[in-house]
Structure 1
Amino acid sequence: MNLTLCWYNVQRGRLEDVVVSEEYRGRQLGKLIVSTITLLAKKVGCYKIGLDCKDSMKAFYNSFGYAGEKGNDNTMIIRF
């Protein structure tokens, strides 16, 4: 598992490199990681988190409230 959360400042976050090893996939770990980070960011006062993802992962991030950013097909943002 690899996870990077980059905080630009207290108000904006960036989620990068959420990867679950093949041997651990199917155990809902990715969902746990993204939901926890998203809730934590909201709790500490972030107004948004951004990320870049593959087209195949857009539905996954949509399920947490992330939406596509106009003008950039692979950027997704959640605003609180």
Structure 2
Amino acid sequence: MTEVSLFESDLLSPEVQSLLPPGYTLRALRSNDYERGFLKVLEVLTEVGNHSRQEFDEQFNYLKKHNHQYHTITITEDAKNQVVAVGTILVERKFVHKNGLVGHIEDIAVNGNQQGKKLGLRIIQALKYIGAKRGCYKVILDCSEKNVPFYQKCGFTQKEVEMAWYVPEVKARL
């Protein structure tokens, strides 16, 4: 089966690629990244669940069909053919700012044994580049208080307050 990329490589920053350690590659999520440990890397963030290959493919195909909106990237360690860092920018269409676009950065994760190589910084830089190339007037993200200094080093400024409402697992019956 031919491997498919989520989006075209012209949205990837050549500068970020040049700043990666030797033997690491920045690229769009690929259809065979299930086997390369993509979901395992996401487990450093939160519960991911046990996806079957079919469930991964269904999600990948949905994102591919909407690749003007969803841009998930990876950094791979080439010698091991493994995904070691991931991130996504979701491009939202707005009415404000004359039908402007806003980039939402989500799901930044770096494999625990790859810490200290600036891979998280490179993922953020690459996602900001995609946001700019897609025409976003701003790129935003939510993070925990402990990660504020990291994102400030990435060029973000703290603004406003994040709020969340989690849908109860047991929904009320009508």
Same fold? TM cut 0.5: yes
Mapped partners of 1:40, 1:5: distance in 2: 8
* Corresponding position of 1:77: none
1:38 aligned to 2:128? yes
Structure 1 stretches of at least 4 aligned residues deviating more than 6 Å after TM superposition: none
Structure 2: segments with no counterpart, 5+ residues: 1-84, 94-99, 164-174
Structure 1: segments with no counterpart, 5+ residues: 75-80
* Corresponding position of 2:151: 61
1:3 aligned to 2:93? no
In the alignment, residue 68 of structure 1 is paired with which amino acid?
A: Q
Ranked by relative contact order (alpha carbons within 8 Å, sequence separation 6 or more), the top structure is 1
SS in 1 for 2:116: coil
User: Given the two structures, how large is their TM-score scaled by the length of structure 2?
Assistant: 0.38
Larger Rg: 2
* Corresponding position of 1:49: 139
SS in 1 for 2:136: coil
* Corresponding position of 2:113: 23
In the alignment, residue 69 of structure 1 is paired with which amino acid?
A: K
Q: Any idea what the Cα deviations from partners look like across 1:12-55, whole Å, max 9, x if unmatched?
A: 11001101010111111101110111122112211011111011
In the alignment, residue 8 of structure 1 is paired with which amino acid?
A: E
User: Given the two structures, how large is their TM-score scaled by the length of structure 1?
Assistant: 0.77
Moved more, 46-55 or 1-10: 1-10
> How many Å apart are 1:8 and its aligned residue?
1.2
> Cα RMSD (Å) of the superposition?
1.9
